[in-house]
Amino acid sequence: MSALFTPATLRSLQLPNRIFVSPMCQYSAERGEATAWHMIHLGQLALSGAGMLFIEATSVEPDGRITPGDLGLWDDATEAALRPVLAAIRQYSKIAVTMQLSHAGRKASSRKPWEGGQLISVADGGWMTFAPSAIPHKPEETPPLALDTAGLMRVKEAFVASAKRAARLGIDGIEVHCAHGYLLHQFLSPLANQRTDEYGGSRENRMRYPLEIFDAVRAAFPADKPVGVRVSATDWIEGGWGIEDTIAFAGELKKRGVDWVDVSSGGVSPLQKIPLSSGYQVPFAQAVKEATGVNTVAVGLITEAAEAEEIVASGKADFVAMARAMLYDPRWPWHAAAELGATVTAPPQYWRSQPREQKNLFGEITIGQR
């Protein structure tokens, strides 16, 4: 029995395996609204055989978008644009669909990656950004506006409103984005947060606002549906947020009923030095799991079925999330199941693709022919 293809339960959500399709920004929305690209992109991934599909980082307000092309869920129009995409997925796939809710903070108002990714000034059509402190992501950039009491409440209410919209759309789960240098990570990291009020200074204070956001989202989303959190385990910079901080944060999230902690790293500073290698972030997920007992998701340059199997089988993490590997091979779970002697769910339109040597890949099926 493959550990990677062992079923899992997250509240009322029953998953056939431990493979997640990571949230991957597509920068292809219009005014925050999903387009035909999202129908094509998410549609193919919904047929991947993975246990859960994450919709990309979805902004809770227009000013929280990384780029003008970011997906959003902040009004009736952005909600309506997602409805046909989800309806198409539901018609042909039983995959669980989760949404990552996000706010980019000081990394907002940027150009798309293939356009250079640099900050767009207000004069060039960008917008003023917000952050815990008026510290720019890069020294040459315009400093963001430090969030005041009214701004903190506005952003929290935006997360709540988006969570309620996600519930109305029938989304199966939510992931709160506290990683990659975006707003909630900015509150956690002393590199970005130099406030002197109750939201700055000590680690306890820096965790306060992200925990308030989690509590608010958890309360706004149906109790029988799971809510997880994405974290950056380390800033990869001396004096920044680190693994011990992440363990403390995960411990607080566990007290609040978090259903998983998705363990990534980096993103809060361009000065980071990341030693990239296969599975380089897995030890962080393992450390969080061993210290807190919370469900963890391992991510980062995991490409081989045997590697993913070992991560789950050895208890280093409960789930494995795939991003680039899934874009390159949208049927990655099929091929992993074939290699590990497991089965996946596939639409009947594709049953004839089953190789002769993998006759039980899709389970016991019968195909007639006139």
- What's the Cα-to-Cα distance from 156 to each of 165, 214, 246, 251, 363, rounded to whole Å? 14, 9, 22, 22, 45
**Beta-bridge mates of residue 298:** 263, 320
Number of domains in the chain: 1
For residue 360, being part of any structural domain is answered with: no
Q: Residue 312: which H helix or E strand, with range?
A: helix 305-313
For residue 365, being part of any structural domain is answered with: no
Show the domain range for 249: 8-342
Q: Among all residues, which ones are annotated catalytic?
A: 182
For residue 106, being part of any structural domain is answered with: yes
Q: Which residues of the chain have pLDDT under 50?
A: none
For residue 350, being part of any structural domain is answered with: no
User: What is the DSSP code (8-state) at residue 50?
Assistant: -
How many other C-beta atoms are found inside a 10 Å radius of the C-beta of residue 43?
14
For residue 73, being part of any structural domain is answered with: yes
| Residue recorded with tokens 């917008």 | 127
**Beta-bridge mates of residue 154:** none
Tokens of 246: 């992440």
For residue 361, being part of any structural domain is answered with: no
Residue in 123, 126, 129, 101 with CA at minimum distance from that of residue 115: 126
Q: What is the pLDDT of residue 367?
A: 63
Please, what is the Cα angle at 34 between 28 and 38, to 5 degrees? 70
Q: What is the pLDDT of residue 363?
A: 82
Q: What is the pLDDT of residue 355?
A: 85
Q: What is the pLDDT of residue 366?
A: 62
For residue 367, being part of any structural domain is answered with: no
Residue 72: CATH number of its domain: 3.20.20.70
pTM: 0.97
Q: What is the pLDDT of residue 365?
A: 67
Q: What is the pLDDT of residue 369?
A: 59
Query: CA-CA distance, 24 to 12, in Å (whole number)?
Result: 25
For residue 167, being part of any structural domain is answered with: yes
